[in-house]
Structure 1
Amino acid sequence: MTFNPKKGIRFAVGLLLALLVVGAGALLYFNSLLAPVAKEAQQAEMVEIPANSSGAAVAAMLEERGLIKSSLAFRVYCRYKGLDSEIKTGEYELGAHMSTPEIIESLIQGSQVYYSFTIPEGYTVEQIADLLYEQGFVNKEKFLQLCKEGDFDFPFLPKKQEDIRYRLEGYLFPNTYSITRHDDEESIILMMLERFVYETNNINFEERAKALGLTVHEAVTVAAMIEREAKVEKDRPLIAGVIYNRLKINMPLQIDATVLYALGEHKETVLYKDLEVKSPYNTYYINTMPVGPIANPGLSSLEATVKPDKNDYLYYVAKPDGSHVFSKTLEEHELNKAKYL
């Protein structure tokens, strides 16, 4: 039997065409497995990728939830693109209208779901802990323990000592923050401390405090009292002036907010018996400033602390509208109390 070259060529061409058709079909089929499960936009689902999840485990979970067509196609695509180890831990919003490559892109870019919370100016550490606990972001006890004894290496923080209730009081900067569900208590606290550094550097807080003869801790302690006393912006530098005038002559500051902090409770009216509480925070009991901040002051109070109004006032009284009237003598002060209280 003789070999026919023409027939051999036709066979080879036919075989090649058949292989091309099969290959094209396989490619089309594989691409169809990477296509979205749903053709129209779907409600996004919250998907959590646990730490140390393998690509196979992620693929199986996504297929089980109906977000991808094939876990095998997911794994082959990741292997082909070299993305096996690139998937990031986190919480993601994914939908069945997304293709497998789009879902993988989200997972490797770390396009996680972020949650926001706002810390109001003048909140104490305990109020912040309550707020974050109620929103499901922290373990309250762990957060408070870190604020009391956590090892945060910032030079302005006071050393750990028994008479300071919370070492971080005053330094958790009031602001709006964005976090993921995987941010723990320590990382949330670090965000706030770093924000404090950023904001105070912008106003040269440390240098201006030093020019007033104050450490950063002392200046933040003053700012916290201003924060709890002032309701009107223009009063803040004036109240700072009163505080410094009293400290200069060794006169008790007698700020009601320090009494409430010493008591560890919030109440509308401070009673005479409350003024007697023996505490290094109670400025009716001591002749100096408190041992530490009584709240976490905002930028306006921090700025007023290092840019006080230079005046001769020693007293102030709150008016019904929240603003204050200031006086230089006890006699004037008593008249203002009779008029406004």
Structure 2
Amino acid sequence: MIKRVLWVLIGIGLLACAALAIDTARFFNSPLENTSGKLLTVDNGMSFNAITERLVAEDIISHPRDAKYLSLYARYEGVAGDIKAGEYVVPARQTPAHLLELLVSGKTRQYRLTLVEGWRFSEFRKLMADNEALDHKLTGKSDEEVMAAIGHPDENPEGRFMPDTYLFPRGMTDIAFLKRAYDAMQRYLDAQWAERADDTAVDTPYEALILASIVEKETAVPEERGRIAGVFTRRLEKGMRLQTDPTVIYGIEDYDGNIRRSDLRRDTPYNTYTRAGLPPTPIAMPSRAAIKAALNPTPGTAIYFVSRGDGSHVFSDTLAEHNRAVNEYQRGS
């Protein structure tokens, strides 16, 4: 009788083990349901049990029993402590093994933020402030405090950050984001400075950044950047004033979209009609192409240019030619 009971218990145990093995195999070999595009956030310091509870709560894993299977598997594989914090997009039809690989890989959801060529730093700051995925540490800080926070105190921020499209995970601080854009600009500027042309009129990389920012604001036509830089280079070499409207505009507080004769006559540190040489700082964030043009100006003899009104320019060697172009394209005579 006792032997019979023992055999029955053993049989039940074997059946239970077989059922568990079958159920476990079913779980690991079957794609998870309802996972297409679902978001899972893993917090810093979160235990694996807490992660599995969240998987159930978010309906990525449909049953607490399956969560226990995943927990046992992660511990068996020795990766339960290797899960990276962040926000994950769980693709459709993922198997539990692939889900675990995703969480260990740290391939978190990436957000996109584009810093636009020709923008001012104030516009960059507003763009970052409006982005809900960034962790905002710089709110209410002055520009001076911002530059100190990213490790570059006593530097003017204008022109220092590379315009580009950046991908970043949720929770990245605005400080880290700005450091990344600053470093990208510095690397590119240093590389271009090392390969600059012999006839460039600037003496330092920072002056190149200033000149590039003016080139950036003067033309949106890619083929003209080198020619614009050439005009400014020759004017600097001849001791002529740059006489470029974008610098004047930068020096006007509360600019309303119209530049007047009185603005051209009003002296500010940025008025290149009243002051010789480059302005004290960049006036915008220059693109890679503008930096390259500033350090590799197109050879020529033109020292004037005027807009045609369609984004392109007419270049002239003499004041008489320039005045005729101004009459034709600006005054309509």
- Using the size of structure 2 for normalisation, the TM-score is 0.83
Query: What is the aligned counterpart of 1:61 among 54, 71, 77?
Result: 54
* Aligned: 1:294 with 2:295: no
Partner of residue 89, structure 1 = 85
* Aligned: 1:168 with 2:157: yes
Partner of residue 243, structure 2 = 254
Rate the CA distance shift 1:173–1:95 in 2: closer, same or farther, 3 A.
Answer: closer
8 Å Cα contact 1:37/1:67 also seen in 2: no
Output aligned runs, 1:1-341, within 5 Å: 19-32=13-26, 39=33, 42-68=35-61, 69-70=63-64, 71-94=67-90, 97-138=93-134, 139=136, 141=139, 145=143, 148-150=146-148, 152=150, 160=154, 167-200=156-189, 204-208=192-196, 212=200, 213-265=202-254, 267-341=256-330
Please give the alpha-carbon distance, in whole angstroms, between the structure 2 residues aligned to 1:95 and 1:311. Answer: 57
1:278-315: per-residue Cα shift (whole Å, max 9, x none)?
43223234212011111111122111111112333322
- Using the size of structure 1 for normalisation, the TM-score is 0.81
Rate the CA distance shift 1:149–1:330 in 2: closer, same or farther, 3 A.
Answer: same
8 Å Cα contact 1:67/1:96 also seen in 2: no
1:134-172: per-residue Cα shift (whole Å, max 9, x none)?
44344474687478523556xxx7x716xxxxx232232
Please give the alpha-carbon distance, in whole angstroms, between the structure 2 residues aligned to 1:221 and 1:135. Answer: 28
Rate the CA distance shift 1:218–1:130 in 2: closer, same or farther, 3 A.
Answer: same
**Unaligned segments of structure 2, at least 5 residues:** none
Task: Name the SS of the counterpart of 1:325 in structure 2.
Answer: strand
Please give the alpha-carbon distance, in whole angstroms, between the structure 1 residues aligned to 2:322 and 2:225. Answer: 18
Rate the CA distance shift 1:245–1:267 in 2: closer, same or farther, 3 A.
Answer: farther
1:242-281: per-residue Cα shift (whole Å, max 9, x none)?
2122222332212111122122555432112323454322
How far does residue 338 in structure 1 lie from its aligned partner after superposition?
Answer: 1.0
1:89-126: per-residue Cα shift (whole Å, max 9, x none)?
11111268434333222111112111223333212212
Please give the alpha-carbon distance, in whole angstroms, between the structure 2 residues aligned to 1:104 and 1:325. Answer: 62
8 Å Cα contact 2:28/2:97 also seen in 1: yes
Please give the alpha-carbon distance, in whole angstroms, between the structure 2 residues aligned to 1:74 and 1:146. Answer: 50
Quick one: percent identity of the two aligned structures?
26
Please give the alpha-carbon distance, in whole angstroms, between the structure 2 residues aligned to 1:247 and 1:22. Answer: 88
Task: Name the SS of the counterpart of 1:234 in structure 2.
Answer: helix
1:50-74: per-residue Cα shift (whole Å, max 9, x none)?
2221112211111122211224333
What amino acid is aligned across from residue 240 of structure 1 in structure 2? A
8 Å Cα contact 2:32/2:96 also seen in 1: no
Partner of residue 164, structure 1 = none
Task: Name the SS of the counterpart of 2:305 in structure 1.
Answer: strand
Aligned length: 323
